Amino acid sequence: MGLRVGHATRVGDGWLTGTTVVLAPEGGAVAAVDVRGGGPATRETDALDPRNAVERIEAVVLSGGSAYGLDTAAGVMGWLEERGRGTRVGPGAADVVPVVPAACVFDLGRGGDFRARPDAAMGRAAVGAAAASEPGAPVAQGCVGAGTGAVVGLLKGGLGTASTVLDSGITVAALVVANAAGSVLHPGTGALYGELILGGGRTASPPAEAHEAARQRLAEAAARNAPPPRNTTLAMVATDAVLTRAQAQKLAGVGHDGIARAVRPVHLLNDGDTVFALATAARPLPATDRLALNEVLAAGADTVTRAIVRAVRAARPVDAPGGTWPAYSELYGEP
């Protein structure tokens, strides 16, 4: 699709956070957003309303740092301005305003220092890493970038990706930062909700002994950690389909279904759940099917669910000054 992903990650000395930038090909991508959480931290989301002026955007930022982390977008704006990328607003080719939508997860204090949070320099580092990568290159997952300080229920959360190619040849991909007040685990079995829904069915539940041991470990961790005051799951659904901005907004909305199938409960007052949609507009929707968008919508929700499963499975345990978070793979093993 031509999208590039870059991470900036900082761990230790009070830090446990990071920033992830999704960089569109030059000229930008159609973008939209749907905010469903009760405690969002976002920037430039109103500009994405299909009724408003901006047609395409060059980059989206996902970051740790709660509302403070929105400063990362300034670094990405600076990087884009230097390259003359953004909405042209003056006579000179360099007279641009890059609209850089951003959303942040709450991870303050998890590394030990409440003030150790992503800033403009970290945003600049992440967009630089994105620009240095190949389009379509594998994206590092787990405790990296905006997923570095993520926590899901009592488990370590993280960043995950997934993608699928539809029969029409259209690609739908998702990148998520799983950091939720709710749980990704069926309480009775330890199965991941997302795998119960998407998986083979009978095989999704771990052995009962593993679940019993995991419950004890999680109860111990819960006794040591303060309950997180805020959370947030962020997702980006991207496709190479030709979508209008309104269609992209519908895709962002249905992306929340993918979060709901992987995290329960979700969209609470202390979640800031936000889904962006990006369309690089390379492949028209099949013209013969009035409902062709449905396939993209359904795949968007499913890739978000799958990316949350990947994020949780890729996370590694963290024992930091701000808390102790076991990882799913450590407790339940690999699939």
Which residues are near a second copy by CB under 8 A? 36, 38, 181-182, 186, 188-189, 191, 193, 196-197, 200-202, 205, 250, 253-254, 256-257, 260-261, 264-270, 291, 293-294, 297-298, 301-302
302 residue type, one letter: D
Task: Say which DSSP state 94 is in.
Answer: T
Between 186 and 215, name the residue whose CB sits nearer to a second copy.
186
Q: What angle do CA 253, 257, 263 make, to 5 degrees?
A: 130
Omega prior to 326 cis, within 30 of 0: no
Q: Tell the burial category of 292 from Cβ atoms under 10 Å away from its Cβ (0-12, 13-18, 19+).
A: middle
CB of 228 to a second copy, least distance (A): 12
**Among 141, 153, 162, residue whose Cα is nearest residue 9:** 141
Between 267 and 310, name the residue whose CB sits nearer to a second copy.
267
Between 250 and 310, name the residue whose CB sits nearer to a second copy.
250
Q: How many CB atoms lie within 10 A of CB 253?
A: 18
Between 132 and 208, name the residue whose CB sits nearer to a second copy.
208
Between 186 and 316, name the residue whose CB sits nearer to a second copy.
186
**Among 161, 190, 151, 144, residue whose Cα is nearest residue 258:** 161
CB of 74 to a second copy, least distance (A): 31
Alpha-carbon 138 to chain mean position: 15
CB of 235 to a second copy, least distance (A): 14
CB of 184 to a second copy, least distance (A): 12
CB of 314 to a second copy, least distance (A): 23
